[in-house]
A and B are shown apart, each in its own frame.
Chain A
Amino acid sequence: MTSDVLPPRTRAPRSRTALRGLVVGAVLAVALLVLRAVSATWGADALPDRIRDFVTLSVSVVIESLPFVFLGILISVVVRFWVPDHVIHRIMPTNPALRRVVISLVGVLLPVCECGNVPLARGFMMKGFSVPEAMTFLLAAPILNPVTIVTTYQAFGWNDGILIGRIAGGFVIANLVGWLFSRHPRPELLLTPAFEEACRIGDGDHGHEHGRAGQLAKLRRGVVAFADETSTMLPALIVGSAIAGAIQVGLSRDVLTALGSNPIWSVLALMLLAFVIAICSNVDAFFILAFGSTFLPGGVVAFLVFGAMVDVKMITLLRTTFTTGALVRLVAVVALASLALGFGVNLLA
C-alpha cells in the first residue's frame, strides 16, 4: 500500500491511482470482515475474566463514542470548507465576553456528545475562533444542549435544584474558564505546536473556488481533512477508552459509593466517578439517577457538571490540541468550580 502513498512519481493518471486505492480499500475492508467472522467463532473463554472484561469495557466505550467522533469530524469539515467566514463573523457579537456567551449556546444547534465536540472545536479554531472561545464551547456544549437538558429533566425533574444547578453551573463555569484564559497574553501558546501550526496556515473557504471544479476540489480537501482529523482523534480516543476500561476493572466501585452520603465526600467521590467512567453527557443523568438515593444532590450536580466537561477520555482527546500545562489549568479550574457548586447545592438542598 505504501507505494500508493508515495508522490505520484510514476505519473500514472490520477483516476487510475484513485481506482486502485478504492480497490485496495474495498479488499482490505472485506479482509477485515472475514477476519472478524472467523475469529468470532473462537470463543472468549480462553481469556481470564478480568482481561475479557477489560476488553469488553474498553470496546464499549469505543463503539459508543466512535459515531459521535465521526459526526463531530464531519460537521467540523463542513464548517471549515462550506461555511463562508463572513457568515460566522456577521452573526457573532464583537464584544469578547458576549461572543463567549453566544458560543456557549452553540451546542443548542449542534447537539453532539462531548467527544464529538473536540474535532468540532478544532474546526472552529481553524475557522478563526480564539483559544478561550473554543474552550468555552468545549465546556458548555455538552451541558447546554437540548438532548442533555431533556434527559436531565426526565431523570430528576425539578428536584433538589439538580437541573438548574447543572444548566446554570455549566454556563457559568464555561464562561469563567473562557474569561480566565482570555487574560492569557498569548493564548496560542496553549495549543500544541502541531495544531497551532495548522491553524496559522489558515484553512477552508478562501472565496476563490466556484463552480463544479471548485466543489470537487473542496470535496477532495474535505476527505483529506477527514483522514487527518481521524489520524489525530482516533488514537487518542482508543488510548482514552483503554484507560477508562482499565480503571473500571481495577477500581472497586464500592469504595466510591460508600463515600456518597457525606456532604463533602459525596461531591469528591462523584467527581472522581465521573472522571473515570467517561460516559456521554447525553445520558449520564440516567446513570447517576440509579445512585440517587445514595448520594446527596450536590454530589449529583458535581457529577453532572464535571463529568460532562472533563473525563479521562476527554483528556486524551483534548491533549491532541492543547498543551499539558493548559489542560492542567483547565481541569483545576473546572474541578474547583464544580466542587464549589456541589458544596453550594448541598448547603441549600
Chain B
Amino acid sequence: MRDRLLTRWRGILLSLVGIVAIIWLAVTGQLGLYIHPRYYEFTVIMAVLAGVVVLAAFAIVPTATEADHDHGDADHDGHEHHDHAPDDHAPAPGDHEHAADVAAGDLGAAVPPPPPGRRRDLVWAGLAGVVILGTVGALLIVPPSTLTTATVDQRDLNASAAVTDTGATETLVGSDTSAFTIKDWASLLRQGAGEDYFAGKTATLTGFVTPDPTDPDDVFYVARFVVTCCAVDAQPVGVPVYLPGWQDSYAVDSWVEASGSFGTNPSTASSQPIVFEPADITPVDQPAEPYVY
C-alpha cells in the first residue's frame, strides 16, 4: 500500500515539473525555443487543465482509499503490486512473493519485514528518483537556450528546408525582397537564382554566426534554424558572408544583423558561388523568436 502510494507521487511530481516549465516558458514568451507557434495555445491549455488535475491530486491522493483506486468491489488480495513499477522492464521471479508480502503488509498496519522483492523495488525507486531529478535539471535548472553550431554541424546547412520546392522559389523571384527571411534568401541561393537576379539586390539579415565548412577562415553563414514541429526537427539555413578574418570580430553562435548586397564569392575554397557582401555588421541580441517557420 505504502509502496503504491509513493509510486503514485512520481507521476504527480513529474507532471508538476512539466506544467511549471511550460507555464513559465509561455509567460516569459520562450515557448518558441522548443515548439512551433501553432502549438502554443494547445500546449498552454493542456498545461492549465493538467495543472488543475494535479492540484486536485495533491488534495485527493493523500486520502485515497481502496475504493478510490482499485475500483474493486471484491478481489482485494494479491493484486497489490500492480503499479509498484508500471514501467517494469523485466518481470522478475520474485514478483509474486512480493505481491503477497505487500498484501500482507496491507492488512497489518505494522511495517512488514523486508520481503525478497524489496531490493528490486528499491532499485526502481532509485531509478525513478534519477528520472525526477534529471527532469527537474533539464526543465527547471538548465537555462532555456537555442540550438548551437554543434547541431548545425550535424545537420548539413541548407540541405533541405531551403529547397522546399521550385514553385515556391519561382514565386520568390518575382516578389518584394524587403520582407525576405534568411530562409527565402537561402532558397534562392540554393536554387541557383543566378547572378543576374542577385545583382543590385540589398538585404538585411539577422541570424547567428556559424562557419562555412568549406572555407571557415574567410566565409561564415548568417544562419537560422527552420522548425516544422519542435526543435528536434530543426534544419539550419543560412546565407554565406565573405569576410576574411571574421573570427576576430564575431564569435560563433553570436547573433548579428548584417546589411549589404550580393556578389560573386572571391573565396576559391568555398563551395558557394554567390555570397553576401556586408556593408555593415552589428552584434544584436538573440531575437525573441530565434527560429523561422
**Count: A-B pairs, CB below 8 Å:** 333
Q: Is A224 in contact with B69, judged by CB distance below 8 angstroms?
A: yes
Interface assignment of B122: CB less than 8 Å from any CB of chain A = no
Q: Is A5 in contact with B62, judged by CB distance below 8 angstroms?
A: yes
Q: Is A253 in contact with B145, judged by CB distance below 8 angstroms?
A: no
**Residue in A28, A197, A277 whose CB lies within 8 Å of B16:** A28
Q: Is A64 in contact with B35, judged by CB distance below 8 angstroms?
A: yes
Please indicate the chain A residues that have their CB under 8 angstroms from the CB of B88 in the complex: 192-194
Q: Is A289 in contact with B62, judged by CB distance below 8 angstroms?
A: no
Contact segment of B127-135, B257-265, B268-276: B127-135
Given contacts A9-B109, A49-B150, A320-B86, contact A294 B20 (CB under 8 A): no
Q: In the bound complex, what is the Cα–Cα distance between A228 and B69 (angstroms)?
A: 9
**Residue in A52, A221, A239, A253 whose CB lies within 8 Å of B69:** A221
Q: Which B residues between 57 and 73 are near A, CB-CB below 8 angstroms?
A: 57-64, 67-73
Min CB distance, B59 to chain A, in Å?
4
Please indicate the chain A residues that have their CB under 8 angstroms from the CB of B226 in the complex: 290
Contact segment of A33-41, A97-105, A130-138, A168-176: A33-41
Q: Is A283 in contact with B229, judged by CB distance below 8 angstroms?
A: yes
Contact segment of B1-9, B173-181, B241-249, B277-285: B1-9
Q: Is B47 in contact with A67, judged by CB distance below 8 angstroms?
A: yes
Q: Is A192 in contact with B59, judged by CB distance below 8 angstroms?
A: no
Please indicate the chain A residues that have their CB under 8 angstroms from the CB of B138 in the complex: 55, 58-59, 62
Q: Which A residues between 249 and 263 are near B, CB-CB below 8 angstroms?
A: 249, 251-254, 257
**Residue in B31, B36, B49 whose CB lies within 8 Å of A70:** B49
Chain B interface, >50% SS class: helix
Q: Is B164 in contact with A290, judged by CB distance below 8 angstroms?
A: yes
Taken residue by residue from 206 to 250, chain A's Cβ proximity to chain B (1 for < 8 Å, 0 otherwise) reads as 100000000001001101111111111111101100101100110
Q: Is A229 in contact with B11, judged by CB distance below 8 angstroms?
A: yes
> Interface of A with B (CB < 8 Å)?
1-2, 4-9, 14, 17-22, 24-26, 28-29, 32-33, 35-37, 39-44, 47, 49-50, 52-53, 55-64, 66-68, 70-71, 74, 192-195, 197-198, 200-204, 206, 217, 220-221, 223-236, 238-239, 242, 244-245, 248-249, 251-254, 257, 277-280, 282-284, 286-287, 289-294, 319-320, 324
6 of the cross-chain contacts (CB-CB < 8 Å) are: A9-B109, A39-B141, A42-B143, A194-B88, A197-B79, A224-B60
